[in-house]
Amino acid sequence: MGHFNVSIFSIFSSLILFNIATIIIIAKRKNTTFIAKYSVNLLLISTLLAFLRLLFPIDLYYAKIIDIHKIYRFFKPFFTLQLFNDFALYQLLLFIWLLGFLLFGFYYLFISLFEIHKLNKLESINLPVIENLISQYPNRKIIIKVSTTVDIPKVWGFRACHLYVPDFSLSSEEWKFILEHEIEHIKLHDTFIKVLLLLVSAIFWWNPLMYILRKDIDQMLELRCDAKLIERYSKQQQTYYLETLLKVLKQKRASIISNSHNYMTDSAYSLTRQRFEIILDNNHRNKKLIFCYYALSILLFIASYFIILQPAKTVDTINTPTLILHVSDDQYELYVNGKFSKTLNSTDIKKPQYSKYEIIERSQ
């Protein structure tokens, strides 16, 4: 036996641990005091580790087994229920999972391409102030469009980045704040992160926590850009930056009121309020404590691979008259009156003469 493998129980364990981590991250994302004190990067690193734990459900040989034999025995007849011929219910569920992944994958792809197509068809307004500001970034290929139909600044692209901004009434200094924020998204490869999020969301389309987490990650990326900018800004510049955000919010609200096709959500106001509070309270951070939290997150991530939920019932082959021991994926052992009788496969155990016996999962 190798030192690690992937099984249905390791996948199940990864899902449980991911959901627990997600609930904690979602709760902390709404805690402005926590973010102001420990920075949003701590939440982003924790989120990355949670996704890695989900996407790499490795079952280590030396993992501590948490016995779920009773739970497993309760649900096993349901999942192994034969629907027709040799087609079981768990196979139908796997098929639905795959079908949902394909449908959601194509849906996200279509929506993204359609949005890009609409943005590329926008009629651009020429604003010399923006052109002058963009020219200050010669190291990056940025294609910018200003349009009255765009309600919030948007960034798209990998090599050649497309930046779409509304036709706000802003001064040169205010436009500089807005563009620096959006260019920070480009520098931090946030477009790539969002594409990966769509892919993971398509894979785990049936998990409601995934949709909440994806929205929270979008907001955390906004907070991360703010944090990067205010590190370079003086106190006076930070004040001007906040005033610019407030001015943009007011103009955005006015634009939305005049356009019945758009709407302003409460979460947008909530995020703006949180951005203000974090920027105004960013000087009370204990770097040593933040480092301890980073270390704790990484240690918990590593430790999670040494825990697995699976049946761990001790098999008594001596005092049990007849039983079938599941030893590997397609290998079973038949014990009669406490003695080994023969080796069976998954086809054999479905035969009438063996189906009446209990199948026991071998513990590691």
Provide the pLDDT for residue 101. Answer: 96
Provide the pLDDT for residue 317. Answer: 46
Amino acid at 140: R
Provide the pLDDT for residue 89. Answer: 86
Residue with tokens 């609930």: 23
Provide the pLDDT for residue 364. Answer: 47
For the chain, 364 residues long, give each residue's pLDDT as a single digit of tens. Answer: 456 677 788 888 899 999 999 999 999 999 998 998 888 999 999 999 999 999 999 878 778 888 887 787 787 788 778 887 778 888 899 999 999 999 999 999 999 999 988 888 888 888 888 888 888 776 667 888 888 888 888 888 877 788 898 888 889 999 999 999 999 998 899 999 999 999 999 999 999 999 999 999 999 999 999 999 998 999 899 999 999 988 888 887 776 655 544 445 556 678 888 888 888 876 667 788 889 999 999 999 999 998 888 876 554 444 556 778 888 777 888 887 777 888 888 788 877 777 767 788 765 4
- Angle 223-227-229 from CA coordinates, rounded to 5°: 115
Residues 206/16, Cβ–Cβ less than 8 Å? no
Provide the pLDDT for residue 280. Answer: 84
Distance CA 161, CA 112 (A): 15
Chain centroid to CA 336: 49
Residue 293 CA: distances (Å) to CA of 26, 75, 88, 215: 17, 38, 45, 24
Distance CA 273, CA 187 (A): 25
Residue 96 is encoded by which pair of tokens?
């639905």
Q: Which are the contacts of 323, defined by CB distance < 8 A and separation ≥ 6? A: 315, 317, 334, 335, 357, 358, 359, 360
Provide the pLDDT for residue 87. Answer: 80
Residue from 262, 70, 285 nearest 148 by CA:
262
Distance CA 4, CA 306 (A): 11
